[in-house]
Amino acid sequence: MTKFKLTSFTLMMFTAALLISGCDDSGEDRSQEAAKDKSLKTYDLVWFDYLNDSESDSAPEVKVSYMENGKQKTKTFKKYVENVEDIEQPYIKMRNDEVFIYRPPYMTYDQKPLEGVVKDKIEQKSSDDQQ
């Protein structure tokens, strides 16, 4: 009986190792391939947003708005890779049903202070304040 348990356990661990080694959650390899692939078109990124669903445990979808032929288009993707790079202009590359987002960091510590004048200010109300 002990030999059977040991064999079963070993087989189960081997199967788990095979399954885990086949997973690619990081997307780094796909992202590097897409960056080098000259056949993929590059589009200027306008904005993107995660579509979180509190009912689901899966990764959220991403809604992407981009410029194509001078027109703004929007598309939702289930598969995406987000790359933070030291660039000025964010852009995307698409392959079938997958998007690769290349964007600058949201904040850098060595950026110059902003200067300007506020011309118009609108106070936003919380949804809790509505009656």
Domain boundaries, the chain: 40-107
Q: Would you say residue 22 has pLDDT above 50? A: no
Burial class (CB in 10 A: 0-12, 13-18, 19+), 17: exposed
C-alpha distance from residue 56 to each of 27, 38, 94 (Å): 21, 36, 25
* Residues 42/102, Cβ–Cβ less than 8 Å: no
pLDDT score, position 31: 66
Q: How confident is the model at residue 20 (pLDDT cuts 50, 70, 90)?
A: low
> What is the average pLDDT score of the chain?
79
* Each residue's pLDDT tens digit, 56-108: 777 788 999 999 999 999 999 988 998 898 888 999 999 888 899 999 888 77
Q: Would you say residue 54 has pLDDT above 90? A: no
User: pTM (2 decimals)?
Assistant: 0.58
Q: Would you say residue 113 has pLDDT above 90? A: no
pLDDT score, position 105: 87
| Three-class secondary structure of residue 17 per DSSP | helix
Among 22-31, 67-76, 108-117, name the most confident range: 67-76
